[in-house]
Amino acid sequence: MKITESQIQQLYKFTALHYVEFYDVQTELVDHLANGIEQQWQENPKLKFEEALRLEFKKFGIFGFSDILEEKSKALAKHYRKQVYKYTKQYFKLPKIVLTLFSMWALFKIVNVVENKNYVAVPVFVLLFGFQLYFLVTEHKKRKKIKKDTGKNWLFQHVTAQLGGLVHVLNLGIYVPNIFSENDPWSFTFQIIFSVAVVLYFIMLYVAVNIVTPKLRLEAQKQFPEYKFV
């Protein structure tokens, strides 16, 4: 026996009822459930669809689909970060490395000259946060439009909106005034570390937004023709 189209739609509704809101994850789970049910029918053709589904779902354990959803989220975020690191490495090859090293040197000279380092650290973190906030707002509008056009949510968009977890780095910004007190001078080494880290993070944000996210969107559209992006 084979799963019918109406039963496939029942499986989609089943995954949604069990708190899987993302269509790309639902599709993977539906495929898994359908294969499992068909295997059960090979052994017991008289088994009802609902009972076969109950037995198949039971295999996911006490937490149901939640573990699968968490694993998929982590795996996709990890893949996103790997792509960011991959394309960031290009900035350490000619000719991009020249501009990269110059930016690090220029920031270091500014930090070295300014007595109160907060005058540099705070604006830097504000600029980074502003860039990130603009991206998040833009992505939110895209997600709303795609949800309206397709009627579906996508785990891919959820992960890209978080830049694969890179956005959480900026949470450190709220501690800037406490960490970088004007009464606590920065060592020469720390000034270098700060300058290098800030430029690297700027580059990674640029790569994530302008290179990795568009590439992953194209991959998603190839896998899911229903996915449309703006």
| Same domain? 197 vs 127 | yes
| Same domain? 127 vs 201 | yes
83 is written with which tokens?
Answer: 């792509």
Asked, for residue 228, whether it belongs to a domain, the answer is no
| Same domain? 94 vs 162 | yes
| Same domain? 40 vs 85 | no
Alpha-helical segments (H) within 49-92: 49-58, 66-88
Alpha-helical segments (H) within 44-65: 49-58
Domain finish residue from 17, 45, 64: 64
Alpha-helical segments (H) within 93-175: 96-113, 118-150, 155-161
| Same domain? 114 vs 210 | yes
Domain finish residue from 64, 87, 108: 64
Q: Which domain holds residue 154?
A: 71-223
What pTM was computed for the model?
A: 0.77
| Same domain? 105 vs 185 | yes
Asked, for residue 230, whether it belongs to a domain, the answer is no
Q: Provide the domain count of the chain.
A: 2
The reported pLDDT for the residue numbered 29 is 93
For 170-201, give one letter per residue: b (16+ CB within 10 A) or e: beebeeeeeebeeeeebeeeebbebbbebbbb
| Same domain? 97 vs 185 | yes
Asked, for residue 176, whether it belongs to a domain, the answer is yes
**Tens-of-pLDDT digits for all 230 residues of the chain?**
788 999 999 999 999 998 898 998 999 999 999 999 999 999 888 899 999 999 999 988 877 888 888 898 899 889 999 999 999 998 998 889 999 999 999 999 999 998 888 888 888 888 888 888 888 888 888 888 888 887 888 888 888 888 887 766 655 555 555 555 555 678 889 899 999 999 998 999 899 989 998 888 888 888 777 766 54
Asked, for residue 229, whether it belongs to a domain, the answer is no
Question: Longest Cα pair distance anywhere in the chain, in angstroms?
Answer: 81
The reported pLDDT for the residue numbered 160 is 84
| Same domain? 16 vs 128 | no
| Same domain? 181 vs 162 | yes
Are 153 and 22 within 8 A, CB to CB?
A: yes
The reported pLDDT for the residue numbered 51 is 92
| Same domain? 165 vs 132 | yes
Domain finish residue from 46, 64, 82: 64
| Same domain? 44 vs 102 | no
Q: How many residues does the chain have?
A: 230
